[in-house]
């Protein structure tokens, strides 16, 4: 069950070096982020067998794919930035280095999802589209969803141009003469407007821009930097 008052932080480093939402949504749900220095083979080895991996192509858009069948390994699902599945053992994965990894779970119906949400995806309402996919395909009401936001660039580090004010209004502010944008704030507002309860939205509160010891950041390091892997799955 979700973490309550007085319990340890629900987003924490595991013994494998990766980071996990250890007390979030349900014991059936595994969700985590690889981190900068993790041994990926060891980290992915935590996933129970049998398992299959499904990735989104990630085109900075707002399309959602529902995964209804898997093989051991599939090519990235073309043209989409978000995935849903009810298949136990199917690991949904995205890669990021500043954009938001956003995790979704409906433990009651046994369905999970993940979204890659940069500013273009948020402007295209990618999170609203995921909530709509849960509602129309799984019959999950928005207020039943659990959502978690992984490490991403935050308002402290994300300087933007004047055009962002028209896109994201109250989430753009001046700070020491710089125009900064709060993308996690945009995400939470989008979820709230869809009917997701703020009490069910868990934010890791980790910034890829100002924590170079933990996370990759395209804004800080350039396109050649590595990518964080985020995954979610239902235990078989």
* pLDDT tens string 91-132: 999 999 999 999 999 999 999 999 999 999 999 999 999 999
What topology does CATH give the domain 11-234?
Answer: 3.60.140
Q: What pLDDT does residue 3 have?
A: 39
Burial call 17-50: b when 16+ CB within 10 Å, e when fewer: ebbbbbbbbbeebbbbbbbbebeeeebbeebeee
Q: What pLDDT does residue 123 have?
A: 97
Q: Are 155 and 181 in contact (CB under 8 A)?
A: yes
Q: What pLDDT does residue 208 have?
A: 97
Q: What pLDDT does residue 5 have?
A: 43
Q: What pLDDT does residue 42 have?
A: 84
Q: What pLDDT does residue 71 have?
A: 59
pTM: 0.94
> Which residue ranges of the chain lie beneath pLDDT 70?
1-9, 70-73
């Amino acid at each position: 069950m979700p973490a309550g008052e007085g319990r340890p932080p629900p987003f924490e480093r595991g013994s494998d070096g990766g980071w996990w939402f250890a007390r979030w949504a349900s014991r059936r749900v595994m969700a985590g982020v690889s981190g900068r220095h993790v041994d990926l083979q060891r980290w992915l080895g935590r996933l129970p067998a049998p398992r299959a991996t499904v990735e989104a192509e990630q085109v900075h858009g707002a399309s959602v794919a529902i995964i209804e069948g898997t093989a051991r390994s599939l090519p990235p699902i073309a043209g989409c930035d978000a995935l849903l599945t009810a298949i136990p053992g199917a690991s949904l994965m995205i890669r990021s280095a500043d954009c938001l990894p956003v995790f979704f779970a409906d433990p009651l119906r046994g369905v999970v999802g993940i979204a890659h949400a940069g500013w273009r995806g948020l402007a295209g309402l990618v999170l609203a589209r995921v909530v709509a996919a849960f509602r129309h395909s799984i019959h999950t009401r928005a207020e039943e969803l659990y959502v978690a936001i992984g490490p991403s660039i935050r308002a402290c580090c994300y300087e933007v141009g004047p055009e962002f004010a028209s896109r994201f209004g109250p989430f753009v502010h001046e700070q020491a003469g710089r125009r900064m944008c709060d993308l996690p704030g945009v995400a939470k507002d989008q979820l709230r407007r869809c009917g997701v309860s703020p009490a069910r939205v868990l934010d890791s509160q980790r910034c890829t821009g100002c924590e170079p010891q933990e996370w990759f950041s395209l804004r800080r390091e350039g396109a050649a930097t590595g990518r964080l892997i985020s995954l979610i799955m239902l235990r078989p």
